[in-house]
Structure 1
Amino acid sequence: MSEGEAFDFQLDYIISVIKDTGAKVVGLQFPEGFKRRSPAIASGLEEETGARILISGNPCFGACDIDVALTEDVDIMFHFGHAPLDDNAVSRKVYFIETRSVVEVRDVVKMAVSELTGQRIGIISTVQHVHKLDDAASVLKEHGKECVICGGDGKIAYPGQVLGCNFSAARNEECDEYLYIGSGQFHPLGVSLATKKRVLIADPFVNELREADSSKVLRQRSAVIAKSLDADVFGIVVSCKPGQKRMELAVKLKKMAKEHDKEAHILTMDLVTPDQLLQFKVDAFVNTACPRLAVDEVGRFHAPMLTPMEFEIVLGQRQWEELVFDEITGE
């Protein structure tokens, strides 16, 4: 099955919205995995509607990462691959196209039954597969397992949905372990770190099973903390992206640094990259932007990049054993 066949881009719906709203200039924003599809989609929409299509070329890491500048140049914009967050009132022009997967999950869930060691299983996924979680639960129940699909906090649109920065739908203390439906590694790794429970990944695209192994990430985080223990000057990174901006947290961390006779500076920017930070001569950075940044980009910055919780460990405010995964939570 090709990528185009594996996901529903809701093109008929998009065409109807463009026609109904009378939009003349339309923006499209895709996450990295879908960007290659954008020229063909744009051509089809232009042909069907006569609207001028503008494609965002900026990186897109989630629903938190709306291309605000593009919204100012278009009548409406379609954001693909994510469900809206609680703080996506940035623009009424934005329509979220969740791009649900049409791939069958029952076969790979059947494969997972013999690998699940617990009795009470929490089932989780990204928005691409949340509509298949009931199917997954029915398969597990047919094989004698108890299933739990939990709701999350205010940032979570659907029960069982996890984000790269929010694992509140996997906070059920009664679950023995979790079954993650999907192909990625970061979300199940985050759940494993956040819950300290086993997470089995059931990949429906290739019908494979694997276990989320957080040991490498924990070793990397321990190394980053160790390199920062003698740091005196910190750069606290704040993202300007609407869904990532945590200025109150940054101010709190700066105050904490001062209380421990450390120097800290708040650095604000839109896209956080190693090159963007290269000119800031600090001993270590503290990331309050997308929590994935410190983990995905480990070793690429010229100074260690700490999470807020790791910064607390460096300052002696938190014990090593109390290290938890950084999340952006909602009410």
Structure 2
Amino acid sequence: MLFYFYFRMFDVPKITGIISARNAKTIGFQFPEGLKRQAPALAKEVEAKTGALVIISGDPCYGACDIDDALLDMVDVLFHFGHSRISDDDRIVFMEYYHDVDVDRAVASALPLLGQKVGVVTTVQHIHKLDDIAKILTDAGREPVISKGDSRITYPGQVLGCNFSAVPAGVDSFLFVGSGNFHPMGMRLAHKVPVVAADPFTGEARLVDVEKIMKQRYAVMAKAMDAKKWGIIVGMKSGQQRLALAKRLKDIAGDAVLISIKEISPDRLLNFKVDAYVSTACPRIAIDDAGRFPAPVLTPVEFEMVKGLRSWEDLALDEIAGD
């Protein structure tokens, strides 16, 4: 029964229907890390039903912007699981994945921490619960506000790690429903409004504190203040390529080189003799592995602060925006 539940979540009839309609013979599957263990069983099921060959991407996948381009060139259609669409390439089929976990307890825990007018956001895994969340807030006398984002955002109220365009303005607090700290931390830094993170898996809620991460980022920027030679990293993943931004930052830096990298890691930066880096790829890279890099790695926002183009009070997460 559990096996069948997983396949219902992955909508096998939709997958096989697309394969049949496109007369596809070779299929690619790409999963985020948390879903990879389900890949082999799903691949066998789809192969048995369609006769197509399924190739599973074994490379890391961190979001909808992280498409396995090499695999995409080998297959007739690539099914990308767990994220909503941000690419217009019709060879890619985005298969969203929803958690059916109850959000009521987590939202109820958040109520004492929230103001009157509440901006509500969540990730795609819980986006189908957005109406339930809004109703709980309304019944408790709060005013929920849900906004539409830019072209990278599929649903009103949806937040990505690199895009907070659906975060509404004019509210006195934000409610983020989901797990992890990166999304609510980014919201707090971007909008300077109290953020309450409600985790539906634990039922707990907390006010997001960004003091620790701010101290860490200021320390990294301080190390880069005397940098003379800069490496400007151009992300080569399809949803993270910002060459125009990298060129602009190179002009600001003066003594700088452009470096293209697909998988950015400390080891891959060891051989470049520069004093500091700026990453124009996913903003999480500079932050999550900050202590492991051989030289300071800044986001574009932080680089502009170091160069005096922004105030040191303007610290915010770098965002990759759409139209």
Q: How high is the TM-score relative to the length of structure 1? A: 0.93
Q: 1:4 and 1:100, CA in 2 relative to 1: closer, same or farther beyond 3 A?
A: farther
Structure 1 residue 115: Cα displacement: 2.9
Deviations, residues 311-331 of structure 1 (Å, cap 9, x unaligned): 112222222112222101112
For the Cα contact (< 8 Å) 2:64–2:239, is it kept in 1?
yes
Letter in 2 for 1:313: M
Aligned runs of 1:229-240 on 2, under 5 Å? Answer: 229-240=225-236
| Matching residue of 2:244 | 248
Structure 2 gap ranges (5+): none
* Residue 10 in structure 1 maps to residue 14 in structure 2: no
Q: In the alignment, residue 164 of structure 1 is paired with which amino acid?
A: G
Query: How far is 1:105 from its partner?
Result: 1.5
Residue 131 of structure 2 is aligned with which of 131, 134, 137?
134
CA RMSD of aligned residues (A): 1.8
Q: Say which is worse superposed, 102-111 or 56-65, in terms of deviation.
A: 102-111
Q: CA deviation at 1:39?
A: 1.3
Q: 2:164 aligns with which of 149, 167, 183?
A: 167
2:285 maps to 1:309: no
Does 2:211 match 1:215? yes
Which ranges of structure 1 fall in alignment gaps of 5 or more residues?
A: none
SS of 2:291's partner is coil
1:154 matches 2:167: no
Q: 1:205 aligns with which of 186, 198, 201?
A: 201
Q: How far does the alpha carbon of each residue in 1:51-87 deviate from its partner, in whole angstroms, 9 at most, with x for none?
A: 11100011111111111111111111100111111xx
Measured after TM superposition, the shift of residue 111 of structure 1 is 2.5
Report if aligned partners of 1:176, 1:197 keep a CA contact under 8 Å in 2: yes
Q: Does 1:194 align with 2:195?
A: no
1:56 maps to which residue?
57
Matched, 1:226 2:187: no
2:268 aligns to what?
276
Deviations along 1:88-127, one digit per CA (max 9) or x if unpaired, are 13x32110001122222123222222232x1001110111
Measured after TM superposition, the shift of residue 19 of structure 1 is 2.5
1:212 CA displacement = 2.0
SS state of the match for residue 168, structure 1?
Answer: coil
How many residues get paired?
322
Equivalent residue letter for 1:272: I
Q: Structure 1: which amino acid aligns with 2:46?
A: L
- Whether the 8 Å CA contact 1:123–1:178 is kept in 2: the answer is yes
Percent identical across equivalent pairs?
50
Give the TM-score of the pair, scaled to structure 2: 0.95
Summarize deviations over 1:295-323 as a string: whole Å, max 9, x none: 11111110000111111122222221122
